[in-house]
Structure 1
Amino acid sequence: MKASQEDAPPRPTVSERPRGELAITVIGQDRPGIVADVSEALARLGANLTDSTMTRLRGHFTWTLVCSGPGAAEVEAALAPVAADGRLLATVREVGAEVEATVAGEPHLMSVHGADRLGIVAAVTRVLAEVGGNITDLTTRLSGPLYVLVAEVDLPPGTAESVAKRLAEVAARLDVEVTLRATETDVL
């Protein structure tokens, strides 16, 4: 006999759960309902999903999320049925609280497009790393022979002009187009 929701113990509110944070990844063959299955399993545990990003990559589902609430073992057990058919892999890892950056960078958007070839990501991201730039979001896509990269980047103050010049040199060597432009900081 199925228990009614009235028989279930009350769920704790977010403020009643001062437990740690977990990083969860779910990867595998795409199918409808994965997000619903995973988020329902987490909600039943009282886990609060705080940050996430999800995409499909060539028919494969990928989701990375951070949640607060129960321990890693509880979450792993709750996600086991979602991955039981072997089409998905769910991993859970404890993470520390978010650390605020001491020096904020200047937000920029970098885009790269051109014929697909080895080393595009390595070359342009090396330019950013050499000046202490931090990539906060990166997406790549191969569409036929065209390779596209879009990245949100925080650059140290005053470095954008020299980074753009160096990226132009790398782009010429790779025979791709690279643009770098300042963006506004997101306000949530």
Structure 2
Amino acid sequence: MIGHDRPGIVASVSEALAGLGANLTDSTMTRLRGHFTWTLVCNGPGAAEVEAALDPLAAGGRLLATVREVRAGGEAAWAGEPYLMSVHGADRLGIVAAVTRVLAEASGNITDLTTRLTGPLYVLVAEVDLPPGTADAVAKRLAEVAAGLDVEVTFRPTETDVL
């Protein structure tokens, strides 16, 4: 979903889903320069029913809701090691491309990524799963790329979530 941010969107959408018997299992929501964005996964009725329930919330172009069926079992087991990468420095073209290329070349999987431009300062924070034994080489390569971009990179292991 995406639309101009306003109070009550999360409540309205989650109420519509609950009214259908759809159980919200995973989601991520944020505001991007005054726009509301929310990606979510739920268990329950089919896409057509969910789309129909969300139609009133999207009336008049207030929200754009795209509904897709997601097959069960989409989560593959990953034997990676979790890391947190942060990048900050003066804004310039190519920061995201350069640091994420380093991760891709190491077969790293980005599981969460946020960027923010605040005045002249650009900040990127990413959670990454790396294949075992690759972290030192990735950290070295990130330091080289950071020097070329004139940004600071912090790369450290993270603890796995305990639920």
Indicate the TM-score class for this superposition, using the shorter chain for normalisation.
over 0.9
Establish whether residue 77 from structure 1 lines up as the match of residue 36 from structure 2. no
Aligned counterpart, 1:19: none
Aligned counterpart, 2:127: 152
Q: Report deviation, 1:111.
A: 0.3
Q: Distance in 2 between matches of 1:102 and 1:70?
A: 26
Task: Identify unmatched segments of 5+ residues in structure 2.
Answer: none
Q: Deviations over 1:19-63 (max 9, x none)?
A: xxxxxxx10100111001100110110000000010101100000
Aligned counterpart, 2:115: 140
Alignment RMSD (CA, Å)? 0.9
The partner residue of 1:104 within 64, 75, 79 is 79
Equivalent position SS for 1:63:
strand
Aligned counterpart, 2:8: 33
Q: Distance in 1 between matches of 2:20 and 2:59?
A: 18
Equivalent position SS for 1:52:
strand
Q: Report deviation, 1:140.
A: 0.4
Q: Distance in 1 between matches of 2:135 and 2:98?
A: 17
Q: Deviations over 1:58-93 (max 9, x none)?
A: 100000000010000000000000000212100100
The partner residue of 2:92 within 114, 117, 123 is 117
Q: Which moved more, 1:90-99 or 1:137-146?
A: 90-99
Establish whether residue 55 from structure 1 lines up as the match of residue 27 from structure 2. no
Equivalent position SS for 1:153:
strand
Task: Identify unmatched segments of 5+ residues in structure 1.
Answer: 1-25
Scaled by the length of structure 1, the TM-score of the pair is 0.85
Equivalent position SS for 1:118:
coil
Q: Report deviation, 1:96.
A: 1.2
Q: Distance in 1 between matches of 2:74 and 2:39?
A: 18
The partner residue of 1:179 within 113, 132, 154 is 154
Aligned partner letter, 2:38: W
Runs (4 or more) in structure 1 with deviation over 6 Å come to none
Q: Report deviation, 1:104.
A: 1.2
Q: Distance in 2 between matches of 1:174 and 1:98?
A: 40
Q: Distance in 2 between matches of 1:71 and 1:147?
A: 40
Aligned partner letter, 1:105: G
**Could you say which structure has the higher helix fraction?**
2
Equivalent position SS for 1:95:
coil
Aligned partner letter, 2:92: R
Q: Distance in 1 between matches of 2:109 and 2:66?
A: 25
Q: Report deviation, 1:100.
A: 4.0
Aligned counterpart, 1:87: 62
Q: Distance in 1 between matches of 2:102 and 2:84?
A: 14
